[in-house]
């Protein structure tokens, strides 16, 4: 009896080690180090661990893998919370682990449902990719949404593969990678246990990859048609502890002036300064406003700069995280307000019920969201401004493109992340916003990474982090009008609908049979 218990314990421990291996491989597939090939096999150890397990055990194994993955991907949250949020290390660790645990619920539920389906002879090849994409879609909206590190983002450098994003969004790439994991798992099982080789499944995978890559090659070969626009990204590298200190306002403005004058080579350039490059209200600082307007006029160029803003409504002030566009004539011609705010960073959810909770980052006060996606007009077309982590939300970019934007501009301050993987993870997601909508995306970051991405996803230039820098490039404005721009997440919604049907079927007593080799 004792030996039996020991054997069972060892078997259970082995299952959890396999789940942890899956989580570790998944984490390593994202930047940095960004070993993207691992994403194609990351779930194989988890499938091996869950084979023959009950649905409840499958949930625990999926949850374990998710905890390992998201703890590895999001380790940089501790830098934000301890260095800038001034939280004690213990409190930071608790919140970090709580978020990793929340995100781990998704793979836990996916494996739980997949095991239920397998018990009803519904194969993993059908259930897992559908459930995974459905989970990503739900995570993108639930509790304000946190679509960080969707599976497809791991492939951001494989350009032929990700061109289908103009049809399916990032979810199409996630589906393909999830599907491949099941096929490789079936191949492994067939070789280890001398079961029937999954020839049909492998053929289907090869056809999907061939079709995806073929579409990608054709998309990459199409010429771009929009007008050319000279752009200049200005990376001031202002230290976070100095950013909101009034004593450093003059030196901050002087830094951006100096870098801009040095970087602009011709009139008509679109100069982009980062989020909150001006750490004061441009609306109520006439001396600084005059300097910035004069700079644009001297250089005969458009200047887009981040600055907090305010509006008066019903006798009350609303604070906004905004970007102001200054014309070559030196006039403010437009303002774009951030639509999707960071909970606990820019506002406190349920603040009336949680008066003891302070924001984790410094700023002006609780921000309010903007009211609409309003592109800003330039001589060569309209630009849609994505402030900070708005770049990870496909629906925000779509809203700007549908409103006429032919270029997306991401202004951000990634100084919060320190020297970590987060700036690289952030950049990887913005590549998909360009491909989805077939418009260029340029990003100016206070401490980096500033970059220029064309409408096919090529990263045409990028800066190093924590350095003063400028990045000049010529980009071709997009034409928009992609299937994804017009119709959005149709593919993911179909996966969600199919997942609901499969989930409902898995709870029925009556079963139906799917061929085992699938």
Identify the pLDDT of residue 12: 84
Helix, strand, coil in percent for the chain, rounding step 5: 50, 15, 30
Pick the catalytic residue from 67, 388, 390, 456.
Answer: 388
CA angle 262, 265, 271 (to 5 degrees): 75
Identify the pLDDT of residue 225: 87
Instruction: Measure Cα distances from 152 to 102, 217, 479 in Å.
Output: 20, 18, 24
Q: Name, in order, each residue with C-beta under 8 angstroms of 457's C-beta and a sequence gap of 6 or more.
A: 156, 159, 162, 163, 431, 432, 434, 435
Torsion angle in degrees (nearest 10) through CA of 395, 399, 405, 411: -50
Torsion sign over Cα 171, 516, 14, 54:
positive
Residue 135 structure tokens: 């989970």
Active site residue 275: yes
CB 383 within 8 A of CB 399: no
pLDDT in tens, 331-370: 999 999 999 998 766 666 655 544 545 555 555 558 899 9
Identify the pLDDT of residue 8: 57
Pick the catalytic residue from 243, 293, 338, 456.
Answer: 338
CA distance 133 to 399: 22
Active site residue 67: no
Identify the pLDDT of residue 122: 94
Instruction: Measure Cα distances from 334 to 184, 378, 383 in Å.
Output: 52, 10, 11
CA angle 220, 224, 228 (to 5 degrees): 140
CB 268 within 8 A of CB 379: yes
| Preceding amide of 449 cis, omega within 30 | yes
Pick the catalytic residue from 118, 275, 390, 436.
Answer: 275
Active site residue 120: no
CB 122 within 8 A of CB 43: no
Mean pLDDT in each 10-residue stretch from start to end of the chain (518 residues)?
Answer: 62 94 98 97 98 96 98 96 89 95 98 95 96 98 96 98 98 98 97 87 98 98 94 96 90 97 97 96 94 98 97 88 97 96 70 51 72 96 96 97 98 95 98 98 98 98 97 93 96 98 87 41
Identify the pLDDT of residue 68: 98
């Amino acid at each position: 009896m004792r030996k039996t218990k020991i054997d069972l314990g060892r078997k259970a421990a082995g299952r959890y080690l396999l789940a942890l291996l899956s989580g570790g491989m998944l984490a390593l597939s994202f930047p940095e180090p960004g070993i993207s090939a691992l994403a194609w096999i990351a779930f194989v150890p988890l499938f091996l661990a869950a084979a023959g397990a009950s649905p409840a055990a499958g949930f625990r194994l999926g949850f374990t893998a998710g905890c390992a993955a998201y703890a590895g991907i999001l380790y940089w949250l501790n830098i934000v919370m301890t260095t800038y949020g001034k939280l004690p290390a213990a409190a930071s660790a608790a919140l970090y682990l709580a978020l990793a645990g929340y995100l781990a619920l998704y793979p836990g539920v996916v494996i739980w449902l997949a095991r239920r389906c397998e018990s009803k002879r519904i194969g993993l090849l059908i259930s897992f990719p559908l459930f995974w994409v459905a989970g990503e879609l739900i995570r993108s909206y639930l509790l304000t949404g946190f679509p960080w590190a969707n599976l497809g983002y791991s492939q951001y450098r494989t350009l032929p593969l990700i061109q289908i994003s103009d049809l399916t969004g990032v979810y199409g790439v996630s589906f393909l990678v999830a599907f491949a994991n099941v096929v490789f798992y079936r191949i492994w099982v067939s070789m280890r246990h001398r079961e029937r080789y999954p020839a049909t499944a492998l053929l289907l995978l090869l056809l999907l990859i061939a079709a995806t890559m073929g579409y990608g090659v054709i998309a990459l070969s199409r010429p771009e048609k929009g007008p050319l626009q000279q752009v200049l990204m200005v990376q001031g590298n202002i230290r976070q502890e100095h950013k909101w200190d009034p004593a450093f306002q003059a030196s901050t403005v002087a830094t951006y002036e100096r870098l801009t004058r040095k970087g602009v080579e011709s009139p008509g350039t679109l100069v982009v300064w980062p989020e909150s490059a001006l750490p004061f209200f441009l609306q109520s600082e006439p001396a600084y406003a005059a300097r910035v307007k004069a700079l644009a006029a001297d250089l005969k160029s458009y200047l887009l700069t981040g600055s907090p803003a305010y509006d008066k409504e019903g006798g009350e002030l609303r604070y906004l995280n905004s970007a102001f566009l200054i014309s070559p004539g030196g006039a403010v011609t437009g303002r774009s307000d951030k639509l999707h705010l960071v909970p606990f960073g820019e506002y406190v959810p349920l603040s009336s019920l949680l008066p003891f909770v302070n924001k984790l980052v410094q700023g002006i006060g609780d921000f309010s969201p903007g009211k609409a996606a309003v592109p800003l007009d330039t001589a060569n077309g309209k630009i849609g401004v994505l402030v900070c982590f708005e770049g990870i939300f496909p629906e925000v970019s779509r809203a700007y493109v549908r409103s006429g934007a032919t270029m997306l501009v991401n202004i951000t301050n990634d100084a919060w992340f320190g020297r970590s993987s987060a700036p690289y993870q952030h950049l990887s997601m913005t590549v998909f916003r360009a491909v989805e909508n077939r418009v260029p995306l340029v990003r100016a970051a206070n401490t980096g990474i500033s970059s220029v991405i064309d409408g096919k996803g090529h990263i045409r230039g990028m800066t190093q982090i924590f350095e003063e820098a400028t990045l000049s490039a010529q980009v071709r404005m997009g034409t928009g009008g992609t299937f994804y721009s017009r119709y959005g997440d149709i593919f993911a919604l179909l996966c969600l609908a199919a997942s609901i049907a499969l989930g409902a079927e898995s709870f029925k007593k009556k079963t139906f049979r799917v061929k085992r080799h699938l």
